[in-house]
Amino acid sequence: MVSCFGKSRFAVIAFTLQTIFLILFGVFAEYKYEIGAETRWFYPMFQNVHVMMFIGFGFLMSFLKRYGYFAIGVNFLIAALVLQWHIIFQGLVHLSKEHHWRISINLQSLIAADFTSAAVLISFGAIIGKTSPLQLVIMAILEVMVFVGNEYIAVEIFKATDIGGSMVVHVFGAYFGLAVSRVIYKPFHSGSANEAASYHSDMFSLIGTIFLWLYWPSFNAAIATTEEQQIRAIINTYLSLAACCLVTFAVSSLTDPRGRFNLVHVQNATLAGGVAVGTAANFMIQPWGAVLIGVLAAIISTLGFQYLQEAMDKKFGLHDSCGVNNLHGMPGITAAIIGIIAAAYGNVENYGSELVDVFPALDNSTGMARTAAQQAGFQAATLGVTLLLAIVGGLVTGAFLRWLPGLDAPKEASLFYDGKNFLLNDEETIDSMQNVSHSCLEENGETGQSKI
Amino acid sequence: MVSCFGKSRFAVIAFTLQTIFLILFGVFAEYKYEIGAETRWFYPMFQNVHVMMFIGFGFLMSFLKRYGYFAIGVNFLIAALVLQWHIIFQGLVHLSKEHHWRISINLQSLIAADFTSAAVLISFGAIIGKTSPLQLVIMAILEVMVFVGNEYIAVEIFKATDIGGSMVVHVFGAYFGLAVSRVIYKPFHSGSANEAASYHSDMFSLIGTIFLWLYWPSFNAAIATTEEQQIRAIINTYLSLAACCLVTFAVSSLTDPRGRFNLVHVQNATLAGGVAVGTAANFMIQPWGAVLIGVLAAIISTLGFQYLQEAMDKKFGLHDSCGVNNLHGMPGITAAIIGIIAAAYGNVENYGSELVDVFPALDNSTGMARTAAQQAGFQAATLGVTLLLAIVGGLVTGAFLRWLPGLDAPKEASLFYDGKNFLLNDEETIDSMQNVSHSCLEENGETGQSKI
Amino acid sequence: MVSCFGKSRFAVIAFTLQTIFLILFGVFAEYKYEIGAETRWFYPMFQNVHVMMFIGFGFLMSFLKRYGYFAIGVNFLIAALVLQWHIIFQGLVHLSKEHHWRISINLQSLIAADFTSAAVLISFGAIIGKTSPLQLVIMAILEVMVFVGNEYIAVEIFKATDIGGSMVVHVFGAYFGLAVSRVIYKPFHSGSANEAASYHSDMFSLIGTIFLWLYWPSFNAAIATTEEQQIRAIINTYLSLAACCLVTFAVSSLTDPRGRFNLVHVQNATLAGGVAVGTAANFMIQPWGAVLIGVLAAIISTLGFQYLQEAMDKKFGLHDSCGVNNLHGMPGITAAIIGIIAAAYGNVENYGSELVDVFPALDNSTGMARTAAQQAGFQAATLGVTLLLAIVGGLVTGAFLRWLPGLDAPKEASLFYDGKNFLLNDEETIDSMQNVSHSCLEENGETGQSKI
């Protein structure tokens, strides 16, 4: 069935992982859910987030002319892996005698796993086209573990508030991925002829953009603990994204001598408002605050795509396939800073009876009784720890991906090219690649004769 | 950054508008929402409508072979502009001492803004391919103002009922757009070689069709004031659309000598049942009534696409890019007429205790105590006023778009061509357009040398 | 308007059916719905299922390079027909004096009709490309009638439980379609050059795959009678599908000598976990049970696509256009067997107070008071009857489609080719097909000169 043993390595590892998951589910997992109106409110939002992960991220990354199968297919694969692994690993970390050493499975587990997949898919975006499925599987396994650790520090130790995950998902995912990208960098990663879009691949990408933009209010509101916060998170995200879209088009037209729009900006920077409002989405930032955040995010993100991305590649070897620094990294840091500032204004005058809903650590009755300034400090500490763990975690993970043998990283000719990992019809094979060796030797590292 | 000042005009106007929006949000807007089960019912429906505006309209209009970026991208831009502007303008019109001169922002504001964007996007459909982004921005600003005025008359003065907005959204949007199209008409708008679909552009368009068809029950039911009316609106719309789909295929096959289906009909006329049932969706029209409405809508719309659209273009210079007269105009008028007839049967025998829920103006306790015949009269008056304001508003708006200097209307070679407004790769540039001037002179009106 | 009478046959039949539907709705149908939180939970799930039918199935089947219009368009047509016909026929079968000989229309009717359309669209998948729209209309009318009969036996007589319809929808639809396919089989159905995908047609197909995968938890949970069962069905389906996705990629890479993934597997076998968990989705199968089911489904389905499908075609003349045996048939039988086994463990120890919710026939108070073993027996009987009725019903239906005159079955050159049923631009016409006769004679059976 398999003529080259090395080529079954992906299958062996995938089966092994799935078997481990099966055993751990068997040993530890049990259904444990609460019934009530919360669930009925929750499930439609969960489904919106679910669409964002698989349709949104998958299609958004399908902009490359001959890498759509990988973008959508391997996005699908990695997300399905992360959904299971996060439920298990998150559960193992929180095992307690109180819960009889069992992992509870409920709708909250499912949506938390979806959120975690967002972080991994953002990292994926930094290195798509330059990595094999096997490398991405390894990254996903390791990243989930660091993610859970970081989230534990942020949420349970620092009691930071980050309803839309701008720090723990977006900043974490972006800089984890960029750190990986830096470690695995090879000069031929820059300037590949395959790294280009076609008219229709860009159309497919817009499917991802629009669904992400539409359902982002659900992403930022899903885990709110009160309905007031949920509605506010929906409103703030909606307004921020609307302003972000308009300003992205404006800035984009300024970057072209003939005033034309750049579709890369439309596909990506229009979404930055959802990231930048994420930490403070449930705060009393007021409608004008949400709009202002969207404006800032659009400017930062569009200029990042236009000027910073290429410079980072050329000067620092930081090749960022989808520009995740521009869409998730810098807007996420913006969100964190807004969260710090806004938390400093977390007082009864602004929040009334909702104060302790939004900032539970300010509640006297919990014994924490932080001041608003202290809360702002912990928000800042969360950003710092998130950046630290993302970068260190990404560097270590990148080292595994670079130096672990047999991971089958793509060589120059097969960068950003589906023919490496997917069966293609002859007519779809890019001309310059038709003379590749079908020899099994190609897996034997870079000294092989194969160019794919 | 910008080598031609004129080319930054779009950016300057977009920034100016966004700044004005920001200031008005700052001065007037405040969160004001009610908590309860209504919200939980409401949000999923809002999300369905949201998908219709951005995926539905955007992809539906992407059927042209080289105008997909504009269809989806500028649809996105214009809708994001309208969402903000409608919330503000609608709020300003309703400022009152009772509400402390503040604009309330809640989920109802968001969905109302989405509804308004539907009207503007329908007008957009009449003139897509023949207008610049700047012209569409101007149109959107003006159209929202006329829309709010018309809705005020319909809902608050005439107390008309139009749950699916067939009059105030569809009829208004279609004839506003057609009036604009007539005023900006130039002979080369007809018969452009670029105004054609490709196999895959038509596939993208079907994404829009299907999502519109699927979520239309939510569009017609979202703003119902009781659950009975919501369920009835869902059922009636579902049945009308199912019948409309089947009959559209039947009529379409009759229009071809070889009995083949015309994809233009499939993409568009299948949706007419959602428009035609819109006004009466919450009425007791009975399942058979809904089915009959769908049948009529399919016939009217398909024949309109097949025969009327070209005739209007040739005889009256009414070039209708997406055929909005066939999908929104005539089916909307049908809906209005059905609403008039059905309102005349608005009595206790047919509606029982629901009578005053469906027709609040028939309630004695409100002091209005209209008869059913009077209500029918006000429904008719609403159709008349809507047509009047749409056409007059469209003519005036069209005059601005035609004669205001510097709006950069596309010339013949760049009609229906994305290269005018979006950066394209060389390979995507249509051959006949490769010799266009990159000179800044091209913006100086039709005497310039540029053909784009 | 119509130059060839025979070419209006589709329209005549479609109009006749729609007229009959209209009359039957008029005579029998009335609104009858219950108000309450159930509805609010129900509608978003209904919309997810609705998306699966029209976007999911439609786009999934659009993988053929020149059959996308038919896949999406005729899927749309047939589903819209089935929605109406199922509401009517199901209602007629259940007419009773108790309900005043009226058919009740409510949200439950709509979702039941959507479920039925799933069965018909699965059958459609077996014969797509080899049948005319008229043949599919005939099949839909007949299949709904057999479907309703089978469901009546399964649900009302045998009191089987099959929440996700793995038996009554998936097994039924698959083997009904395969039986039709066998009867209408002609040797040229195998090996057509048109039966191939292109890069972008496969991208469109992935839209269908991902939406089906995402919303499948709603499909399996929608008709649950208690919230506990609904949540459990969501969790089990989510876990099964996640495991199924990962294992499909693993098995797929094993089937290629170079370890590449086969997009056909990614598009289809990733979904088999949703089918295989369908019957037992609301049971206490435990999270590990759901994961194990997903693993098994992936293996069965991927191997089916890789090895069995071609063998069935070559050896038995069982040409299965979309591989419904692999996605729906075998995984559906797997689901049924799991259901039989799991039902045998239906006791108070495993289910507690939920036992009679999940297995109403085990309730003493209903007078049935079955044992778990008896329930398992009735589950097995349901599988048997479903297979029997599907195959017999399909054979009879296939005989109508093959021998009824004037149904315009495609000849060799127009297999899997949109130009037969849709107007195409000249440039889209496949070269080898440009010399087809436009004569009306072509409809006169296989002796005509036309090749299309």
Q: Calculate the dihedral angle through the C-alpha atoms of B21, B24, B30, B35, rounding to the nearest 10 degrees.
A: -40
Q: Residue C374 in contact with residue C104, Cβ under 8 Å?
A: no
Q: What is the pLDDT of residues B149-159, one digit of tens each?
A: 999 999 999 99
Query: Alpha carbon of A135 to those of A74, A127, A408: distances in Å?
Result: 11, 10, 8
Portion of chain C with pLDDT greater than 90, in percent: 86
The confidence band for B438, taking pLDDT boundaries of 50, 70 and 90, is very low
Q: How confident is the model at residue A99 (pLDDT cuts 50, 70, 90)?
A: confident
Q: Identify the helix (H) or strand (E) that includes residue A30.
A: strand A29-31
Give the mean model confidence (pLDDT) for residues A192-204. 94
Of the candidate ranges A222-231, A383-392, C274-283, the one whose mean pLDDT is the lowest = A222-231
Mean pLDDT of C356-383: 92
Q: Which helix (H) or strand (E) holds C349?
A: helix C348-351
Q: Which of C253, C261, C288 sits opposite A25 (nearest CB)?
A: C288
Q: Which residues of C touch A107 (CB under 8 A)?
A: 231, 234-235
Contact C63, C196 (CB under 8 A): no
pLDDT at residue C293, rounded to an integer? 98
Is the pLDDT at B443 greater than 50? The verdict is no
Per-residue confidence at B37, pLDDT binned at 50, 70, 90? low
- Tens of pLDDT, residues B67-107: 999 999 999 999 999 999 999 999 999 999 988 899 999 99
Residue B428's pLDDT band (boundaries 50, 70, 90)? low
Please tell me which of A27-36, B6-15, C9-18 the model is most confident about, judged by mean pLDDT: C9-18
Question: Is the confidence at residue A85, as pLDDT, over 60?
Answer: yes
A3, A18, A109, A441: best to mutate for the C interface, most C CBs within 10 A: A18
Least confident of B162-176, C116-130, C322-336, C417-431: C417-431
Kindly determine whether residue A14 and residue C203, on different chains, have CB atoms separated by under 8 Å: no
Q: pLDDT band at C367, cuts 50/70/90? A: confident
Q: Is the pLDDT of residue A239 over 50?
A: yes
What average pLDDT score do residues A417-446 get?
Answer: 59
Contact B31 A235 (CB under 8 A): yes
Q: Is the pLDDT of residue A241 over 70?
A: yes
Question: A153 or B446, which is more confident?
Answer: A153
pLDDT (0 to 100) of residue C442: 41
* Cα–Cα dist C263/B362, whole Å: 61
C55-80 pLDDT per residue, tens: 999 999 999 999 999 999 999 999 99
For residue B292, what pLDDT band results from cuts at 50, 70 and 90?
Answer: very high
Specify the DSSP element, H or E, that contains A218. helix A199-221
Side-chain-facing half-sphere of B79: CA atoms under 13 Å: 33
Q: Among A431-445, C122-136, C161-175, name the one with the lowest average pLDDT.
A: A431-445
Say whether pLDDT at A427 is over 60.
no
Contact A214 B133 (CB under 8 A): no
Q: Which of B44, B246, B260 sits opposite C77 (nearest CB)?
A: B246
How far does the CA of residue C227 sit from the closest CA of chain B (Å)?
A: 16
Nearest to A416 by CA among A85, A189, A239, A93: A189
Residue A166 vs residues A355, A382, A383, A388, B249: alpha-carbon distances, Å: 21, 11, 10, 15, 48
Contact flag B210-C69 (C-beta cutoff 8 Å)? no
Q: pLDDT exceeding 70 applies to what percent of chain B?
A: 92
* Contact flag C11-B214 (C-beta cutoff 8 Å): no
- C128 three-class SS: coil
Q: Which chains touch B (3 or more CB pairs under 8 A)?
A: A, C
Residue of C59, C200, C210 to mutate, testing the A interface (most A Cβ within 10 Å of its Cβ)? C210
Residue C430, classed as helix, strand or coil, is coil
B1 pLDDT tier (thresholds 50, 70, 90): very low
pLDDT tens profile C421-450: 999 976 555 544 444 434 333 443 333 334
* Residue A122: its H or E element: helix A107-127
| Range in A49-58, A322-331, A343-352 with the lowest mean pLDDT | A343-352
Looking at residue A242, what DSSP letter applies? H
Give per-residue pLDDT as tens, C145-177: 999 999 999 999 999 999 999 999 999 999 999
Q: Is the CB of B249 less than 8 angstroms away from the CB of C106?
A: no
Query: What secondary structure letter does DSSP report for C56?
Result: I
- Minimal Cβ distance to C250: which of A11, A25, A105: A11
What SS3 string covers chain B? Answer: CCCCHHHHHHHHHHHHHHHHHHHHHHHHEEECCCCCHHHHHHHHHHHHHHHHHHHHHHHHHHHECCCHHHHHHHHHHHHHHHHHHHHHHHHHHCCCHHHCCCEEECHHHHHHHHHHHHHHHHHHHHHCCCCCHHHHHHHHHHHHHHHHHHHHHHHHHCCCCCCCCHHHHHHHHHHHHHHHHHHCCCHHHCCCCCCCECHHHHHHHHHHHHHHHHHHHHHHHCCCCCHHHHHHHHHHHHHHHHHHHHHHHHHHHHCCCCCCECHHHHHHHHHHHHHHCCCCCCCCCHHHHHHHHHHHHHHHHHHHHHHHHHHHHHHHCCCCCCCHHHHHHHHHHHHHHHHHHHHHCCCHHHHHHHHHHHCHHHCHHHCCCCCHHHHHHHHHHHHHHHHHHHHHHHHHHHHHHHHCCCCCCCCHHHCCCHHHCECCCHHHCCHHHCCCCCCHHHHCHHHCCCCC
Complex ipTM value? 0.94
Say yes or no to pLDDT of A23 above 70: yes
A233: CB partners within 8 A, 6+ apart: A163, A164, A217, A220, A221, A224, A281, A282
Q: In terms of C-beta density within 10 A (0-12 exposed, 13-18 middle, 19 or more buried), how is residue B330 classed? A: buried
Host H or E run for residue A31: strand A29-31
**pLDDT at A219 exceeding the cut of 90:** yes
Distances (CA, A) of C68 to C59, C81, C122: 8, 20, 17
| B8/A238 touch (CB, cutoff 8 Å), yes or no | no
Provide, as residue numbers in chain A, all residues whose Cβ is less than 8 Å from the Cβ of B83: 238, 242
pLDDT given at position C237 = 98
Q: Give the pLDDT confidence of B332-370 residue by residue, as tens digits.
A: 999 999 999 999 999 999 999 999 999 999 988 877 889
Q: How far apart are CA A62 and CA A73, in angstroms?
A: 10
pLDDT in the model for residue A417: 95
Which chain B residues are closer than 8 Å to C204 by Cβ?
203
More confident site: A296 or C3:
A296
Alpha carbon distance C122, B402 (integer Å): 53
| Dihedral sign of CA atoms B43, B44, B45, B51 in order | positive
- Mean pLDDT, chain A, rounded, equals 92
Please report the pLDDT score of residue A365 as a whole number: 81
* Candidates B14, B58, B68; nearest CB to A250: B14
pLDDT at A449 over 80: no
Q: Which pLDDT band holds residue B395 (cuts at 50, 70, 90)? A: very high
What local confidence, expressed as pLDDT, does residue B338 receive?
98
Cα–Cα distance for residue pair B287/B339, rounded to 1 Å: 16
Q: What is the pLDDT of residue C124?
A: 98
**What is the mean pLDDT of the segment spanning A171-188?**
98
Rounded to the nearest integer, the mean pLDDT of chain B is 92
Quote the pLDDT of residue A35. 79
CB contact under 8 A, A253 and B428: no
Tokens 């297995």, residue located: C359
Kindly tell me if the per-residue pLDDT of A430 is higher than 70. Answer: no
Rg (alpha carbons) of chain B, rounded to whole number: 22
pLDDT number for residue A53: 98
Q: Do A33 and C228 touch (CB under 8 A)?
A: yes
The model's confidence at residue A438, banded by pLDDT at 50, 70 and 90, is very low
pTM as predicted: 0.95
Write out chain A residues lying below 8 Å of C292, CB-based: 22
Kindly tell me the sign of the dihedral angle through the C-alpha atoms of A111, A114, A118, A123: positive
Confidence of residue A180 (pLDDT cuts 50, 70, 90): very high
Token pair in block for residue A362? 């300010």
Query: Residue C410 pLDDT more than 70?
Result: yes
Rounded to whole angstroms, the Cα distance separating C340 from C380 reads 6
Adjacent-strand bridge partners of C422 = B261
Contact status, residue B92 vs residue B103, Cβ threshold 8 Å: yes
| CA atoms of B140 and C450, how far apart (whole Å) | 52
Mean pLDDT for the stretch of residues A417-430:
80
